[in-house]
């Protein structure tokens, strides 16, 4: 598998504005030019989309220990090959059999490239921004770089896998609805919406309540979530998996 991304920046914030994984055929390796040619025919090459909460990625030759700008990275707007991380390793394990020769787009609720963002005060600013997004007011973070334009979102392929998480504090109700609206819009566009869930909610309730378990987690649930994620992608398109 190869990972490609395109970064942008504004006001010292760094964003991963496009992100794809490519599941290589045996002994195959593609270039960024090959990627761009495939993206001109998305209907043929993109199998679907996986939604996660936010990225923390770096191009090959750089790392996630500090901002890309501080490492001398120049934001030229081109696709670059990215380093593997734990999520990428899980993606490879899940997709290597059924998705050879296909691209999968990775999208995020929030494109800001930052580690452990759910444990920072930045998420409080997101909650404010979600309320501002559909108004004429300026958002705290760059609107087109950080957020999904749900009403006009473009989705390629047959499926949308929602892996954005399920724990939303009461003050983050706007973020919860933002995730829900993405899933509903995907259904409206005819995409198969898939996710991991447990016995707390049935399938329809999961969508209404934005209850999408993350593929990658910590603690006792780590192996259970990873196994379910890999199980979901044993078919093409993937299928909804409920934890026993």
- Residues 85-142 have pLDDT tens digits of 999 999 999 999 999 999 999 999 999 999 989 888 999 999 999 989 988 789 999 9
Count up the domains in the chain and report the number. 1
Burial 93-105 (b: 16+ CB within 10 A, else e): ebbeeebeebbbb
Task: Supply 187's token pair.
Answer: 């259904």
SS3 assignment, position 183: helix
Distance CA 87, CA 46 (A): 19
Q: State the average pLDDT over residues 217-229.
A: 95
pLDDT score at 168: 87
Which residue stretches of the chain are H helix?
Answer: 32-39, 42-45, 86-95, 122-133, 143-146, 173-188, 203-208, 222-232
pLDDT score at 171: 87
Quick one: what percent of the chain has pLDDT higher than 70? 100
Range of the domain at 34: 2-242
pLDDT score at 118: 82
What is the 8-class DSSP label of residue 130? H
């Amino acid at each position: 598998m190869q990972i490609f991304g395109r970064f942008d920046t504004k006001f010292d914030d760094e964003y991963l504005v496009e992100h794809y994984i490519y599941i290589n055929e045996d002994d195959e390796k593609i270039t960024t030019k090959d990627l761009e040619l495939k993206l001109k025919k998305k209907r043929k090459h993109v199998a679907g989309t996986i939604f996660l909460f936010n990225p923390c990625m770096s191009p090959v030759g750089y790392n996630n220990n500090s901002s890309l700008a501080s490492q001398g990275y120049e934001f030229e707007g081109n696709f670059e090959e990215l380093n593997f991380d734990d999520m990428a390793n899980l993606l490879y394990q899940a997709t290597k059999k059924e998705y050879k020769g296909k691209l999968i787009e990775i999208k995020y609720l929030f494109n800001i490239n930052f580690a452990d963002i759910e444990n920072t005060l930045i998420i409080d600013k997101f909650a404010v921004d979600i309320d501002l997004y559909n108004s004429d007011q300026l958002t705290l973070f760059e609107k087109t770089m950080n957020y999904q334009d749900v009403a006009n979102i473009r989705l390629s392929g047959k499926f949308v896998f929602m892996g954005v998480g399920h724990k939303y504090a009461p003050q983050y109700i706007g973020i919860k609805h933002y995730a829900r609206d993405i899933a509903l819009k995907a259904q409206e566009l005819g995409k198969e919406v898939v996710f991991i869930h447990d016995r707390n909610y049935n399938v329809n309730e999961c969508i209404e309540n934005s209850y999408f378990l993350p593929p990658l987690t910590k603690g006792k649930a780590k192996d259970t979530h990873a196994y379910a994620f890999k199980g979901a992608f044993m078919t093409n398109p993937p299928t909804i998996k409920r934890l026993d």
